[in-house]
Amino acid sequence: MGAVLLTGACTQATGLAGVSAGSPSTSSTGTPEVTATIPAPTPEQQAAEQPPKGDDPVKVPPPKMSKYTYTFPVKGCKTTYQRKLLVLPKTTIWAGQGCSFVAPIGGVVDEVNIQNRWNPATDAGPDREGRFVTIIGDDGVRYLGGHLDSVAEGVRQGVRVKAGQLLGRVGRTGNARDTGPNLYFAISWKTGPAFWWVRRGMVKPWNYLDAWKSGNRTFSPREETLKLRGKLGETPGCAVQCASKRVPQAAKTPKPRKTKTEEQQIITLNPTIAPLRPQ
């Protein structure tokens, strides 16, 4: 009897470290139910789990394409320009009236036209660009900026200029009279003034403009220009938009014919003698 009471007392005793010695509760399936509390992570653990912040990206300059340095030919203004061949291998850079046209590379001024001679009645080829400046760059390439409102002071033939130096102001002279202000920009090679069709553009310029505008300032048209000149010759014949308009001449007014009586009344005087006086 005493042994039985001792056994019952032991079954109600508390187990080790606060764990009940009694039977764990069971679910309806008979599986013991176990609960646990997950401790919150410490600040040190949270910092270790988050990836470290990376450094700012390193800007890698574009590869150097040539020994020459170029700049976009319109400075300080918002611009748009054509990137396809329309009639001639040149482009129209649309910009505000008076925006700066600058030398795309260091070089020497070749041709300067400060007069707007274009006449829509004749549309003469040499006059279509209105006021313009051309330079022969240090790369041996000729660059033309036309339709200028004005030419910068001191810009004349033979003057040395630096890349980015002001050459003129964007305008609408020449056959741009009825359009918005723009810069006629063309790439070619040096010829005499008589071969004006070479001056107005031989090499498509937009790939080079894209590069200079985006930061690749060493992308050079020299190789393409020299290759094309070798293929066509220095002074190829004009092939597109060559002839001027013919102005119809006014019909000549016939001179009135003198009658025989009128001819008899004409007196020719010898300047060495006095006129005849009536008797």
pLDDT tier at 258 (50, 70, 90 boundaries)?
Answer: low
Q: Annotate 75-89 with b (16+ C-beta within 10 A) or e (fewer).
A: eeeebebeeeeeebb
Q: Above 50 in pLDDT, residue 270? A: no
Mean pLDDT over 122-151 rounds to 98
Residue 50 has pLDDT above 50, yes or no: yes
Superfamily of domain 74-232: Glucose Permease (Domain IIA) (2.70.70.10)
Domain limits, the chain: 74-232
Instruction: State the Cα–Cα distance between residues 2 and 171, nearest whole angstrom.
Output: 122
Residue 106 has pLDDT above 70, yes or no: yes
Task: With cut-offs at 50, 70 and 90, classify the pLDDT of residue 187.
Answer: very high
The SS3 of residue 101 is: strand
pLDDT mean across residues, the chain: 82
For residue 59, what pLDDT is reported?
Answer: 74
Give the mean model confidence (pLDDT) for residues 139-152.
98
Q: What is the pLDDT of residues 77-90, one digit of tens each?
A: 999 998 999 899 99
Contact 83, 185 (CB under 8 A): no
How far does CA 163 lie from the centroid of its chain?
15
DSSP state of 171: B
